[in-house]
Chains A and B, each alone.
Chain A
Amino acid sequence: MGLFSQLAEKPWTPEQAAIDDRHKGVEFSLPTPQFGLRVFLGFVTVIFTLFVVVYVERMVFADWKPMPEPWLLWVNTAILVISSIGLQWAWVSADKGDADGVKKGLYLGGVLAFAFLTGQLLVWQQLVVLGFYASSNPASAFFYLFTALHAVHLLGGLVAWGRTAIKVKSGMDVAKVRGSVELCAVYWHFLLVIWIVIFGLLLFT
């Protein structure tokens, strides 16, 4: 039953009580960590949405000068996509109970995430060489801000990834790491979507 339709219940009537007494006290069938991650992703979505709104608002002012888009960003995007695919592979393998697949997928995803972060640093370096500093124009300031914020989230994800990778490496049962692998994969896909939105915003403005 939907959250809002429950608001119409009359908890003091015997008819409703007969139904309520059977209630397990749990609203969604998702396991708690999975549900918690989704609430957190909702929070992060609000943050990025507000940043995008502010970006669009700020863009209309006269001093806005569009940024160059280094070709390296395309490479980084491809790396992040493959990283996400790696984690998806790990997740699917975990569902099948395939320990080897979990290990390979997880390692592929994590290593490529590090590669992505290195690539982003290289982009920063290129831009600095070209003379685009954070203070030189709001467009470049937003670029540094967005990429840094995205990278911080990815680094946080890599902490969770590291803990999962240690468990997998120590040969823990696939069924036991399945939850952690799923959390990592969902988070990775989410950050990929965020990155594509940011990258698209930079390309089209």
Chain B
Amino acid sequence: MAYVAPAPAEVEEVELYHAKSFITKYVFSQDAKVIAIQYSFTAIAIGVVGLVLSSMMRLQLGFPDSFSIIDPADYYQFITMHGMIMVIYLLTALFLGGFGNYLIPLMVGARDMVFPYVNMISYWVYLLAVLVLVASFFVEGGPTGAGWTLYPPQAILEGTPGSGGGIILMLVSLIFFIIGFTMGGLNYVVTVLQGRTRGMTLMRMPLTIWGIFIATILALLAFPALFVGGVMLLLDRVLETSFFMPAIISMGEQLEYGGGSPILFQHLFWFFGHPEVYIVGLPAFGIVSDLISVHARRHIFGYRMMVWALVAIGGISFIVWAHHMYVSGMNPWFGFFFATTTLIIAIPTALKVYNWVLTLWKANIRFTIPMLFALGFIVTFVNGGITGLFLGNTAIDVPLSDTMFVVAHFHMVMGVAPLMVIFGAIYHWFPLMSGRMLDETLGRIHFWVTFIGAYSIFLPLHYIGFQGVPRRYFEMGETNFIPPSVQDLNAFVTVVAVMVGFAQILFFYNLFKSMSSGEIAEKNPWKAASLEWQTPEQPPAHGNFGDELPVVYRWAYAYGVPGAKDDFVPQDMHPDEVGGEGAHEASKE
């Protein structure tokens, strides 16, 4: 007997904000889609600055004697700003502010975020944070060179580059960022919990939304630690309090400070810093699950376990932070505890990797560009994750911690891997956002150059690290224990890094050219089942879903349904229209 869907529960429509002028429509807009694009452009723009800084560092490392314009102080400032920009101002802002804003309302079937006005303010406070950060490049002494971890006491002492205005602006910028993010985060959490459309239960949400949702909760719990540490460090710097500052003799002179604990700051910083890895990681996990499912025409393998893994990773990520502090010295039992929790977090993470691979097993894989990037992500993430297992052990971490090996590890796992997802996601959702397709050939060249380039850069760094080359050093000088091959490799890495950097111009060219003259995208070009592609217009108009909100009848992974008209069933298609017997039994194994 055919399944009869019950009459959907009635939910009242919410009142929607309507823009009246050009300024309220495109500049001070309250529409989440416009805010998403504002967030994305700002994040990518500051990300390009971070990319240029990394090339400058590579030039110095590859050819230590050739670039007299880079002095040691510059080098430290480049490192610090590169790290800070990439982790917080690019990745966090792009995944949550960019993709979060664009996709949450569309994928859960809402007209907009629940607090559009607060959402708008969130972007403008973020922009202010970015501008304050950029301003620090132009103050006397330049931006801070304390390293992105900003450890006291050196972060605020004279002698560290940028200890004047630089560090103050850095901390102020971070505080603004956290305030802005909180406003956005409040929206993401409440919209997911309270703003969904009829029939959209939590377990029918696409994994993209799960990833962004859990990451936002992590951020709301972790950013306070950075806020607390940042405010107190700022007071130590400006009012000469001694929250973190011990008694110090600097250049023969006893400073006013005394009694504070630098380790306390490290705990606060990493209580934020480790969940931050997953704030960047979880949205990437979620998005890549959807990319793989759509482009392999198969439901995601083990949907429930994928959700559980996201929740478990989110929870465990709060009890592993001290593995960043093994070299700071700690009680061995303390180290043992954190090594254990660190290794445990590999279990839900590995589970996700298996499920991605099993989704691909016997699937109808289409080697579209998003699929290429998704595959690139899986490989890179496994590589970076395995070196993480090495480093999670205290005994192995202590000798390796301050070497290039760690640089290679975290760039693979939280630099290149999330970037693969970001690129894949842009190629995937660009037709929805702009109504046009990106150029296929340029995209393929972009993928292969970026993928092979990333490996050419970071695989040698593992070897260089094993040879004992320390990270954060301006130059090695005459060192007996380092073989000459290291310098040759460093030069090679630099050449590749600069090439990969320039190759991104292809991507930006593709992006801007396709926006105006790309091939017009057909409706739902990837034949995806999730709600964002089922809007009446493409790109979706203000209010997203025309006159009536969609009603959801199934999960987002109804691919290859037996007897259905197409090889996928959209989430909002009424069971009577599906045909066959597959109304709900979508691709049941």
Contacts and interface: CB of A to CB of B under 8 A. Distances in A.
Q: Do A and B bind each other?
A: yes
Interface of A: 3, 6-14, 17-18, 20-28, 32-33, 35-36, 39-40, 42-43, 46-47, 50-51, 54, 57-58, 61-64, 134-135, 138, 141, 145, 149
Given A12-B554, A22-B199, A27-B202, 11 more contacts: A11-B554, A11-B555, A13-B585, A14-B585, A21-B553, A32-B195, A35-B194, A43-B224, A58-B264, A62-B259, A135-B239
B555 A58 contact: no
**B interface, how many residues as a size bin?**
35 or more
Contact of B242 (A13, A40, A138): A138
Interface stretch (B143-151, B300-308, B328-336): B300-308
Nearest to B219: A43
Interface stretch (B17-25, B33-41, B226-234): B226-234
Contacts, number: 165
A43 B182 contact: yes
A26 B304 CA distance: 20
B9 A42 contact: no
A36 B118 CA distance: 11
Nearest to B256: A135
Among A18, A43, A51: residue with most chain B CB under 10 A: A43
Contacts of B3: 14, 17
A32 B303 CA distance: 29
A54 to B, nearest CB: 6
25 contacts: A3-B202, A6-B203, A7-B202, A8-B304, A12-B554, A12-B585, A12-B588, A20-B201, A21-B5, A22-B6, A22-B199, A24-B11, A25-B11, A25-B195, A25-B198, A27-B193, A27-B202, A47-B227, A54-B243, A61-B259, A134-B239, A134-B241, A141-B235, A141-B239, A141-B241
A7 B308 contact: yes
B221 interface: yes
Nearest to A55: B243
Interface in B530-581: 552-555, 557
Nearest to A43: B220
Contacts of A3: 202
A54 B196 CA distance: 39
Nearest to B558: A12
Nearest to B263: A57
A12 B224 contact: no
Contacts of A6: 201-203
B304 A135 contact: no
B243 A138 contact: yes
Contacts of B259: 61-64, 138
Among A8, A42, A46, A134: residue with most chain B CB under 10 A: A46
B132 interface: no
Contacts of B311: 7
Main secondary structure of the interface of A (DSSP, over half): helix
B224 A24 contact: no
A19 to B, nearest CB: 8
B109 A25 contact: yes
A21 B199 contact: yes
Interface string B265-301: 0001001000000000000000000000000000100
B194 A27 contact: yes
Contacts of B190: 32, 35-36, 39
B201 A9 contact: yes
B264 A51 contact: no
Given A25-B197, A25-B198, A46-B221, A51 B5 contact: no
Contacts of A64: 259
A36 B232 contact: no
B487 interface: no
Contacts of A22: 6, 8-9, 199
B268 A12 contact: no
A14 B557 CA distance: 15
Contacts of A51: 228
Given A13-B584, A57-B264, A23 B198 contact: yes
Contact of A17 (B115, B231, B299, B584): B584
Given A20-B199, A57-B261, A47 B585 contact: no
B85 interface: no
Given A11-B303, A11-B555, A35 B193 contact: yes
B220 A46 contact: yes
Interface string B197-211: 111111110000000
